Structure 1
Amino acid sequence: MSEPKGAARQGVRTACGSDPHGNDGRRLVAWLHIVVPRGAVPTATSRCVCGRDRSAIGRARVLALIDDHTAHRDTCPLRNPQEGRAAA
């Protein structure tokens, strides 16, 4: 086999514009997805990159999961890293 000639050998130039959203250092850690179809049973899912993955079906359980998801913000090891002996 011979080496490619022309553009294939030289590569193709691409125009990479700047990211319109920028990188302000923020990233998604946890998210809550709630679905409430008209006339149907509501569902919700709470996920976090720490490994948390919970779901709920029904109004009362969805409301409880919303409260639990909110409380997880204070206890998540990724949002609140502990240092020193407490981490061990």
Structure 2
Amino acid sequence: MSTRRHPPLKSITTTPDGPHAAPQPVEGPAAGDPKGVAEGVPIAVRPDAHADDGRRPAAWLHIVAPPSWGVTPSARSGCACGYERQAIGRADVLQLIAAHGEHRATCPLLNPVSEGRAAA
């Protein structure tokens, strides 16, 4: 009978004959450097959405009027010039809304008087 020879179960690797340099990374942009434009990315520069345009609220009216007729509405009116009022109840809230509109029409911060009109 013939004896079958089985292949070795483990392979013996050859030992390197000297030190070899490790593979170096490909040169690319450093962290923070601008990268090239990717496909599908718009190249148009959009204005900053959080840019300050200088506008500030000067007069505000806050009304709390729940949909139920059984709940009493309330309102607060305020202005940067120091005008502050509040009202509780339907009739008082309606009067406050009218007073707020009148104040906005006459407030010196919202309607500055020009020099030509003040001199006349």
Please identify runs of 4+ aligned residues in structure 1 that moved more than 6 A.
Answer: none
Q: 2:81 matched to 1:30?
A: no
What is the deviation of 1:22? Answer: 2.2
Aligned-pair identity in percent equals 60
Q: Of Structure 1 and Structure 2, which has the larger fraction of its residues in helix?
A: 1
Which residue is 2:86 aligned to? Answer: 55
Scaled by the length of structure 1, the TM-score of the pair is 0.67
Matches of 2:71 and 2:101 in 1, distance apart? 25
In structure 2, stretches of 5+ residues that fail to align are 1-46
Q: Secondary structure at the match of 1:50?
A: coil
Matches of 1:41 and 1:81 in 2, distance apart? 37
1:35 corresponds to which letter in structure 2? V
User: Which digits, 9 at most, give the CA deviation of each residue in 1:42-78, with x for residues without a partner?
Assistant: 0000000100000111111101111111111110010
Matches of 1:21 and 1:72 in 2, distance apart? 31
Answer with 78-87 or 35-44: which moved more.
Answer: 78-87
Number of aligned residues: 70
Instruction: Answer with 1 or 2: which has the greater Rg.
Output: 2
Matches of 1:54 and 1:34 in 2, distance apart? 12
Q: 2:96 matched to 1:65?
A: yes
Answer with 42-51 or 74-83: which moved more.
Answer: 74-83
Which residue is 2:34 aligned to? Answer: none
Which residue is 1:80 aligned to? Answer: 111
2:106 corresponds to which letter in structure 1? T
Scaled by the length of structure 2, the TM-score of the pair is 0.51
Q: What's the Cα RMSD here?
A: 2.3
Higher RCO (CA < 8 A, seq sep 6+): 1
Matches of 1:48 and 1:30 in 2, distance apart? 4
